[in-house]
Amino acid sequence: MRKATARFICFALSLTFLISARAAAFPDWDFPLEPETVYDFDQYITLANRSHLLDSGYVPGDLVKTTVRRASGVGAMELRKAANDALNEMFEAASEAGYTLYLKSAYRSYQTQKTMYNNRLQKMGRDDGLVAYPGSSDHQTGLGADILNYAWTQKDGMNKEFAKTAEAQWMLEHCHEFGFILRYMEDKEDITSIKFEPWHFRYVGREAAAYIMENHLSLEEFTEEWQNYVADYEARGGDFHELIIWRARVRDAVVVNVNEYGEEEYSIFY
């Protein structure tokens, strides 16, 4: 919510009239997902990879201590609240289906990535691609989780053989129901530049997860798809920001305050 507010600060008064005047003229939004999902108020669909590095200072504002079963020997971990809530639901559903899941890794700070990367560099004498470049880890979003079954918590390291386990197959089939996607798919290695990781699930919210898994997309492909759609929407005369504000107004979800400079500030609730 804080983020959304900040984005709308300092809109001039004239925008109010601009919106009402233009509301009827918005082009159709026929992307399969709601505009608010794509607008990403909560930063649930944020992409982190080698070409979309997260800022060294980026720390999610709503990290909580994880409350699901942890792999033995793994200390306290953190995830963003929505991801932890969803993970609890997924672990619960897995239990009901007869599977016991274990969380192995969750939020990873920029500093931790930097230390891991530098240690690897020192050991190998070069970047061998096996440790994420600082800022490129999906774990820095606080939405990525490495999840194993018991047998694999006892092993040293992980590999794609995990995909053959009943737990991995159950997660692949059901993760979207809880808002998770398989972040690094086997046939998307060329796109993600990351090897198949059948244990790494990423929270994106239920609507996006259902779409992404149904269409078998990497987060990179999904990002390109919605960004192209927004560009096309604007090329058709639409204004994405105005659309979001207008839709919030329609459902009476905008609070307008006047700041110290006499400008209107918009806070959107959704």
Which of 36, 167, 197, 225 is flagged as catalytic?
A: 197
> How far, in Å, CA of 162 to CA of 86, rounded?
22
Instruction: Compare residues 183 and 247 and give the one whose CB is closer to Zn ion.
Output: 183
- Which residue has its beta carbon closest to Zn ion? 200
> DSSP assignment, residue 148?
E
Q: Tell which one of 104, 188, 200, 247 touches Zn ion (CB under 5 A).
A: 200
x/- map, 204-243, Zn ion, by CB under 5 A: ----------------------------------------
Q: Where are the beta strands (DSSP E) in the chain?
A: 63-65, 78-80, 102-105, 144-148, 180-182, 200-203, 254-258, 264-268
> How far, in Å, CA of 71 to CA of 157, rounded?
13
Instruction: Compare residues 4 and 148 and give the one whose CB is closer to Zn ion.
Output: 148
Q: Where are the beta strands (DSSP E) in 152-194?
A: 180-182
Residue type, 65: K
* Binders of Zn ion in range 14-73 (CB under 5 A): none
Instruction: Compare residues 141 and 267 and give the one whose CB is closer to Zn ion.
Output: 141
x/- map, 139-178, Zn ion, by CB under 5 A: -------x--------------------------------
Q: Report the nearest approach of Zn ion to the CB of residue 178 (Å).
A: 17
> How far, in Å, CA of 202 to CA of 182, rounded?
6
Q: Report the nearest approach of Zn ion to the CB of residue 46 (Å).
A: 16
Instruction: Compare residues 196 and 226 and give the one whose CB is closer to Zn ion.
Output: 196
Of 145, 188, 149, give the one whose Cα is nearest residue 166.
149
Q: Report the nearest approach of Zn ion to the CB of residue 99 (Å).
A: 19
Region binding Zn ion by CB under 5 A among candidate stretches 20-28, 32-40, 84-92, 192-200: 192-200
Q: Does 104 bind Zn ion (CB under 5 A)?
A: no
Instruction: Compare residues 8 and 199 and give the one whose CB is closer to Zn ion.
Output: 199
> How far, in Å, CA of 68 to CA of 79, rounded?
11
Count of residues making up the chain: 270
Q: Report the nearest approach of Zn ion to the CB of residue 184 (Å).
A: 8
Given a contact cutoff of 8 angstroms between Cβ atoms, the answer to whether 270 and 245 are in contact is: no
Instruction: Compare residues 4 and 90 and give the one whose CB is closer to Zn ion.
Output: 90
> Tokens representing 226?
């919605």
H and E: helices and strands count for the chain: 11, 8
Q: Long-range contacts: 52-57, Cβ < 8 Å, 24+?
A: 52/136, 53/133, 53/134, 53/135, 53/136, 54/110, 54/135, 54/136, 54/137, 54/140, 54/141, 55/110, 55/135, 56/110, 56/114, 56/134, 56/135, 57/110
Q: Report the nearest approach of Zn ion to the CB of residue 197 (Å).
A: 6
Q: Report the nearest approach of Zn ion to the CB of residue 11 (Å).
A: 39
- Is 265 catalytic? The answer is no
Binding site for Zn ion (CB under 5 A): 146, 200
Which residues are part of the catalytic machinery?
197
